[in-house]
Structures are given as C-alpha cells and as structure tokens.
Amino acid sequence: MIKRTTLFFLIASLGITIFSFEINKQPDTDGKQKVIRTIVIDPGHGGSDAGAKGQYSYEKDICLAVSLKLGKMIQEQFPDIKLVYTRTTDTYPALHARANYANENKGDLFICVHVNSAPMKKGSEIVGYKTVTYYVGKGKNRKKKTKEVPQYRYFNIPSTAKGTETYIWGAGKTDDKELAVRENSYIYSEENFEKNYGPNFDPNSPEAIAVSLLKTKQYFKRSATLAGLIQDEFVKVGRIDRDVKQRPVGIWVLQATAMPSVLVETGFISNPEEEKYLNSEAGQVELSECIVKALKNYVKWLEDKQEDNEKDNKDEKSKDSNAARIADTKEFLETVEANEKKKSGR
C-alpha cells in the first residue's frame, strides 16, 4: 500500500527541483545554453573480460579502438565538449564503477561501444556410406539384409548475421520498467541518495521505482532520438540496419547512468567479413564518423528543443509543462498502485 499523498509531494518536489535546475543552467557567452557539456565514452569489456571472440580478434580490443577514434573525432568537431572515458587501456572497470564514474562526471550523454556476436550454426555433409547388416522376420522367415547408411561430417558454420544495432534502456510497458528497476537497484547508489531521499527510503519500494522512472522518462526520449540518428547514419554508409532496440533488463550500465545513454553494437565479430571490417582502420573510422554525424544532428535537435522551451518560457507556459510532468507521474503512480493491489489480491 502506498501513502499516496506523501509520495505525490515527494515526486512533485523532485519534478520542481529538476525543472529549476534546467532553467538555472548558466548560459554561454553567446547567450545560448550548452546542450551538451560532457560525454562519457564506455568501451565495452576489457582486461580479463574479452567479450565476444572472432576467428582472430576480441571484442574488447575493437571496442577500445573504435572508442578512442570516436573520442578523437568528437574532440576535433566539438572542442568545447569535455570527454571522459571509462577506460583507455586494456582494463576492466566493474559495471557499477563505470556508471558511478559517468554519474560523478555529470555526463550529459553516455555512449557504450560494443561488438555483436551470433552463435555458430551446425552444418553437416555426407562423407560416405557404410554397409549395415540387419535382419527381418522371425524363425524360418528370418532374412539377412543390408543397407547403405550415410556417414556425416559435422562442422560449425559462422553465422551470417551482420550489421549494427543500437540499444537504449527502457520498455514499452510499465510492468517491464518496474521489473528492470527491481532487478537492478544500483541506480540508487548515488552519492547523495540518503540526503536526497531520506534514510528510510527503500530502493525497491514503489515510491523509489516511481522516482527512478521520472528520471528515466526524461532521458528516454533523448536516448531514443540519438539511437535513431546513429542508425540513420549507418544506413547511409550501407551498413545493414538492425534497428534501435529496447531492453528492459540486461544492459545494466544504460540504466544506471543518470543521463541519456546508448549502446552501439557496431557489427558482428562472428561474421568473418564483418570481423575484418571491425578490425580495419577504414571500418573503425567509418563507424566513428557515423556516430559523430549522428551526434551533430542530436545536438541540433537539442538546440531546437531548447529554443522551443525558451519560447514557451516567455509565453509563461512553463508552469503548465511542470504541471504536465506532475500529472504524468500521478498517472504512473496509479498504475503502480493498481499493480500492487492486483498482486496482493485485493
């Protein structure tokens, strides 16, 4: 059972805090707010965690190589953006350490670079025949017969799966989100968690889940937009588009980072043709260029949004937008409450 009034005020005040933080951001010299100050790049795996294995290379090495190229390109094109990496060498920072690091650095965007893999298929071929003797009938009618039985050789066929896909965290259904938050409550290990939410705050309570969702909701649209723009760029250079995918569970870092986040599966190391591409200088440059182009469009999109917001503020519609935010949360709380009732059989 939820103490709805308490909860409502908690959420409402959080909404207002976030809202006032947004409008209190210091403007730049040209009078415009910077839409992105810090980007965190997370090369997947590393150290003892090699990730997926190809015929001659490891995922962790490709992730690092692409990430470093990507970072260098971002730095060239956006010299004002602060870049931080969760690793720049062959080490394995724990996932919670990566997320904490990103949060501590107050990232505005988290980009995870990974390499995909599909399992080998089993193939077989007939290599010859063996004569096998068998008998039919009983007693006097028993007859000896022979037949040819094919002999097979079994082998592994590399999967032909290829292309890129970009993951974001989140799911269409409230239930899934709830599940995901419950599964990974690390998101609450924020520095000022107790101070912000009180010492008796249970991370797995519906209240906590609601707070987390409020946060997630803000980032979801941004993550989804960037992910879409990244896939668009991959398509333009002829990569196979495996689309933007949402995962409610499983990609922990995406959820634990308090910022828009995407995970790019750059290609399939299990496909020999793609393994070659992923390891090549040209391939790594192309992948990085695609992500940087998408980033440019994303920044543009954020700036347009900001302009719209400023217009709204001038029209004194800002109160309405905060009211909408609170109404959204209220609606969510009702869903949680209904689910809780269902579970407890009331």
Q: Answer yes or no whether residue 114 interacts with Zn ion by CB under 5 A.
A: yes
Nearest Cα to Cα of residue 47 among 85, 86, 87, 92: 92
- Looking at the Cβ atoms of 268 and 332, the one nearer to Zn ion is 268
DSSP per-residue codes, 267-330: EETTSHHHHHHHHSHHHHHHHHHHHHHHHHHHHHHHHHHHHHHHHHHHTT-HHHHHHHHHHHHH
For residues 100 and 266, which CB has a smaller minimum distance to Zn ion in the complex? 266
Which residue number, 44 or 71, has a Cβ lying nearer to Zn ion? Answer: 44
Q: Is 87 in the site for Zn ion (CB under 5 A)?
A: no
Residue 42: phi and psi, rounded to 5, are -120, 100
Q: Which is nearer to Zn ion, 37 or 247 (CB)?
A: 247
Residue nearest to Zn ion (CB): 114
Q: Which stretch binds Zn ion (CB under 5 A): 47-55, 87-95, 267-275, 315-323?
A: 47-55
Stretch that binds Zn ion, among 108-116, 123-131, 187-195, 215-223 (CB under 5 A): 108-116
CA distances in angstroms from 165 to 209, 217, 335, listed in the order given:
28, 22, 32
Among 15, 43, 46, 51, binds Zn ion (CB under 5 A): 51
User: What amino acid occupies position 216?
Assistant: T
The CB-of-2 to Zn ion minimum distance in angstroms stands at 38
44/283 with CB nearer Zn ion = 44
- CB under 5 A: which stretch of 114-122, 125-133, 176-184, 334-342 binds Zn ion? 114-122
264/295 with CB nearer Zn ion: 264
The minimum distance between CB 250 and Zn ion, in angstroms, equals 11
Q: b/e per residue, 155-192, with b = 16+ CB within 10 A?
A: eeebbebbbbbbbbbbbeebeebbebbeebebbbebee
| HSE (side-chain half, CA atoms, 13 Å) at 155 | 7
Interface size with Zn ion, residues (CB under 5 A): 3
Long-range contacts of 234-241 (CB under 8 A, 24+ apart): 234/163, 234/164, 234/287, 234/290, 236/290, 237/286, 237/289, 237/290, 239/163, 239/164, 239/267, 239/290, 240/162, 240/163, 240/164, 241/163, 241/164
Which one of 46-54, 86-94, 104-112, 185-193 is the stretch in contact with Zn ion (CB under 5 A)?
Answer: 46-54
Report the site for Zn ion in 190-209 (rule: CB under 5 A). Answer: none
- CA 5 – CA 325 distance, rounded (Å): 17
Q: Which is nearer to Zn ion, 212 or 266 (CB)?
A: 266
Q: Which of residues 117-156 bind Zn ion (CB under 5 A)?
A: none
Does 44 bind Zn ion (CB under 5 A)? Our answer is: yes
Q: Which is nearer to Zn ion, 81 or 118 (CB)?
A: 118
Question: How far apart are CB 236 and Zn ion at their closest, in Å?
Answer: 24
Sites for Zn ion among residues 267-296 (CB under 5 A): none
- 158 contributes a contact to Zn ion by CB under 5 A: no
Q: Which of 330, 113, 117 is nearest to 230 (CA)?
A: 113
In the bound complex, what is the minimum distance in angstroms from residue 132's beta carbon to Zn ion? Answer: 48
Do the bridges between strand 121-136 and strand 143-157 make them parallel or antiparallel, or are there none, so unpaired?
antiparallel
Under the rule (CB under 5 A), what is the footprint of Zn ion?
Answer: 44, 51, 114
